[in-house]
Amino acid sequence: MNVNLNVNPLESWVKTKSKPLVIAGPCSAETPEQLLATAKALKAIDKVDVLRAGIWKPRTRPNSFEGAGSEGLQWLSDVKKELNMMIGTEVANPQHINEALKYGVDVLWIGARTTVSPFSMQEMADALKGVKNVTVLVKNPTHPELGLWIGAFERLNQAGITNLGAIHRGFSTYDKSKFRNVPIWQIPIELRRVAPQIPIICDPSHIAGKRELIYEISQKALDLNFDGLMIETHITPEKAWSDADQQVTPERLNEILSDLQVRVASTKDKEFNDHLDDLRKKIDNIDRELIEVLAARMAIVGKIGEYKKENNVTTYQVKRWDDIMKNRAELAKKMNLNESYIIEIYKIIHEESIRKQTEIMKSVESKA
Ligand code: PEP
Ligand code: MN
């Protein structure tokens, strides 16, 4: 994938108090009192860079609290003046953008349900054309399609927005899971590979759905070198009008942030780097051997394919496949490897073997 973006580094749009960048505040702005009390408590812990509060809430079904609307923007703007904090909210259409900018919102974020729609994204990008001094964060789309996420950045970039950041908030799933939205870390990691300039923030609140998981998800994100965290924080979480189960108190946020281990992405320490180089060379050699072994395996698969064709036997044989899965899983266990990891690898190996044998069947047929 060819991705060419012009993105300012995080430091140019917010002077973070320390790494990681912290965005915190209630899921929704409910009343001026709730917002101000939460903001004051967050200001007091002195670790929060941007105050968040949802003003327009995308609710799955009607008849639940859909946000305070423009009135809430006045509360946010009052808090910004009183406490001198940067403020951020979710926008989902051009009117939201215009309103939010009128009230001096510093950070706009685009929610998962909007990133998923290229039409909405284009309308939003058009509304942002020529707007200066605003930061736009884009949450991943609800389903794991990296292209849509990148497309959103490209549309915003073409509208001249360069203060950009990504938010990983997990993906919807139909399967049973301990998460509300399952984190698929490979997707933000791939985003980092194709567009390394984009700062990436993790939203453990919407991944978790419950406050007990916030700490471990945040630590995982930092271990993967994410640049920031967005954590829903409410002065009385259990009384929140939306997402009550996943919000934490400002005191708990303070504890979480103090307990998190922040690791460095690299160091100049010579001894460390030499040792890491040695270990990486070993990995490179093992990977070469792995690929040689896979090539040798594939050569045998080819021979079997030809042999099956000559004897008019089907490519796929259930019994054999079943035996392989059982035997390889047992071997994995003996070697202290995660069984499901080896099973997943074998599914891919088997799929490719079938593809190869089917190709052989076809090529022999066309010669006949
Ligand atoms: C939110 O941050 O309040 C929100 C609605 O998030 P998401 O778009 O991730 O569901
Ligand atoms: Mn929420």
Q: How many angstroms separate the alpha carbon of residue 205 from the centre of ligand 2?
A: 7
pLDDT in tens, 225-275: 999 999 999 999 999 999 999 999 999 999 999 999 998 888 899 999 999
Question: Can you give the pTM of this predicted structure?
Answer: 0.85
Please report the pLDDT score of residue 365 as a whole number: 55
Cβ atoms of residues 6 and 162 within 8 Å: yes
C-beta 139 within 6 A of ligand 1: yes
Q: Which atom of ligand 1 is nearest to the CA of 58?
A: 5
The pLDDT value given to residue 264: 84
Q: Which of 90, 109, 149 to mutate to test the pocket of ligand 1 (most atoms within 8 A of CB)?
A: 90
Assess whether the C-beta atom of 59 lies below 6 angstroms from ligand 1: no
Q: Is the CB of 111 under 6 A from ligand 1?
A: yes
| For ligand 1, mutation pick of 64, 116, 138, 206 (most atoms within 8 Å of CB) | 206
Which ligand 1 atom minimizes the distance to the CA of 243?
3
- Residue 364: its pLDDT value, please? 54
Best substitution site from 124, 142, 143, 169 to test ligand 1's pocket, by max atoms within 8 Å of Cβ?
169
List, for the chain, all residue ranges whose pLDDT scores fall below the cut of 50.
367-368
**180 in contact with ligand 1, CB cutoff 6 A:** no
Beta carbon of 58 within 6 Å of any ligand 1 atom: yes
